[in-house]
Amino acid sequence: MKLHELTIQDAHNLLKKKEISSKELTGAVLDRIEEVDEKTGAYITVVKKEALLDAENADKCISKGEITPLTGIPLSIKDLICTKGVRTTCASKILENFTPPYDATVITKLKKAGAVITGKVNMDEFGMGSSTENSGLKTTCNPWDVTRVPGGSSGGSAASVAADMCLGSLGSDTGGSIRQPASHCGIVGMKPTYGRVSRFGLVAFASSLDQIGPLTKNVSDCALIMNTISGYDPKDSTSVPKDVPDYLSALETGIEGLTIGVPREFDLDEGVHPDVSMAVKNAVKKMEGLGAKCVDISLPHSKYAVAAYYVIATSEASSNLARYDGVKYGLRDKNQNNLIEMFKNTRKAGFGPEVQRRITIGTYALSAGYYDAYYGKASQVRTLIIEDYSKAFEECDVILSPVAPAPAPEIGENAEDPLAMYLADIFTLSANLAGIPGISLPCGFSNEGLPVGLQLTGGHFNEETILKVAYNFEQATDFHKKKPNI
């Protein structure tokens, strides 16, 4: 196996035995980026010089016996997580030249663990999209078929992992933005419980929904990154002071006796691509073969999730993105003498059409006379969805569903239909509204050879159980071992 194809765990074992060096490993990954990224367009910024320097420092630590599971491991970072001294663009023209003066908490934790950051990867602008076509800077392609989207908004993260241009990545998930691209690219992606991972230094889209999480080649690597980035952070007021278990050790036991819920509202025979339906139904049979009990459950208010989400998320986006006004930082239109015109022209030039659309929707939903009818009502629906999950987890340990209703569409297929794009997250965004953890892992392929993902969700702070179920399924199948030919 080539060095860039290694998993985090395998690379760690070789580094620990000093059979390879981090400099060799990082060099192999950087060479891989040069070789294939012109086909995928995953990276916005590659920090080759800094990465090799970090790798040298990691090797010095390893030579002293100072090694963590991430020491010397090359990782990519979604370009809305602040990195000191390295551009953080949010894939938007309005922040195209913004360089943060500080690191996000997750970056601080990765650096403390000795990880090597290879660069920042592409995304839908400010995380608003499900295909990475809404990037204001470039187009990212799916490594399995470069005529198709990689999913979004963490499309660059998913593509960089699937194409072996890093050993793992950090993304963010507001309505499915880690899980859905993980599904489309045939890798593992986890959205932790809201409050489990610090959001300090994450550029906000919708503050009550955003959560940082890992995208990896397998479930074990996902657990390793979760061990590093999880935990309370006083810099984040939404961070929860709760002990972090060892997620890796949680994988060791089987799933015999666990109950897995299959929501009857997520009808696999209606509105779901037949290849996705077949893969998920086969996954249910495989779970039962592993000793789990699969039962029907109900999430009665899930049919309102898309509508509630796109009121809440756009309203919060309208508020959060008001700070980009051309005054403090980022793009400024310099051709106006009038302050109001400068505001208008800066935002018009800096924001892409999807971001403008969502700001407009959110501003309307929050406006006088409409707040109660839209944002207030959506918040009430959100409470009902949270209650649905609470009741469901009294009957089961984990909930199983598809991640996306269809395999990755062709680039441009839904470009003129925002509603079709929004419905791509129909199975994922309920978990964000409820604040519960969810994971996507490979469970099959379409007839055209495109990956299909399986979603597992659990109760609040129950990442251990969904990781355990995901790991046992992964070990009983070979889907995660297949690689795109790029």
Q: Spell out the residues 6+ positions from residue 273 whose beta carbon is closer than 8 angstroms to its own.
A: 405, 406, 407, 446
Confidence of residue 328 (pLDDT cuts 50, 70, 90): confident
Average pLDDT over residues 232-257: 96
What is the structure's pLDDT at 419? 81
Confidence of residue 415 (pLDDT cuts 50, 70, 90): confident
Average pLDDT over residues 282-308: 97
Average pLDDT over residues 153-173: 98
Q: Given the residues 177, 198, 239, 446, select the one marked as catalytic.
A: 177
* Three-state secondary structure readout of 310-352: HHHHHHHHHHHHHHCCCCCCCCCCCCCCCHHHHHHHHHHHHCC
What is the structure's pLDDT at 329? 84
Nearest residue to 158 via CA among 134, 136, 188: 188
Average pLDDT over residues 363-367: 94
What is the structure's pLDDT at 404? 97
Residue 426 CA from chain centroid, whole number: 16
Bridge-partner residues for 86, per DSSP? 83
Average pLDDT over residues 32-60: 98
Distance CA 362, CA 312 (A): 8
Q: Is 93 a catalytic residue?
A: no
Confidence of residue 154 (pLDDT cuts 50, 70, 90): very high
pLDDT > 90 fraction of the chain, expressed in percent and rounded: 91
Confidence of residue 414 (pLDDT cuts 50, 70, 90): confident
Mean pLDDT of the chain: 96
Confidence of residue 339 (pLDDT cuts 50, 70, 90): confident
Residue 384 CA from chain centroid, whole number: 25
Average pLDDT over residues 201-207: 97
Q: Given the residues 153, 183, 430, 446, select the one marked as catalytic.
A: 153
Q: Encode pLDDT of 416-446 as tens digits.
A: 888 888 888 999 999 999 999 999 999 999 9
Average pLDDT over residues 241-252: 95
Could you tell me the maximum CA-CA distance found in the chain, to the nearest angstrom? 70
Does domain 3-256+456-481 correspond to CATH entry 3.40.50.2300?
no
Look up tokens 């890093």; give the residue: 166
**What strands lie across the sheet with 451-457, from one edge to the other?**
43-46, 116-121, 74-78, 168-173, 211-216, 188-191, 438-445, 451-457, 398-402, 259-263, 293-297
What is the structure's pLDDT at 366? 95
Q: Is 318 a catalytic residue?
A: no
Nearest residue to 214 via CA among 236, 188, 237, 176: 188
Q: Given the residues 23, 78, 109, 120, select the one marked as catalytic.
A: 78
pTM of the model: 0.97
Residue 336 scores a pLDDT above 80: no
Average pLDDT over residues 73-97: 97
Distance CA 90, CA 298 (A): 37
What is the structure's pLDDT at 421? 83
What is the structure's pLDDT at 140? 98
What is the structure's pLDDT at 158? 98
Hey, where are the domains in the chain?
3-256+456-481
Q: Is 78 a catalytic residue?
A: yes
Distance CA 230, CA 3 (A): 28
Tokens standing for residue 26: 């990082």
Whether the Cβ atoms of residue 242 and residue 274 lie closer than 8 Å to each other:
no
Average pLDDT over residues 269-273: 90
DSSP for residue 2: -
Q: Encode pLDDT of 274-286 as tens digits.
A: 999 999 999 999 9
What is the structure's pLDDT at 464? 97
Confidence of residue 335 (pLDDT cuts 50, 70, 90): confident
What is the structure's pLDDT at 392? 98
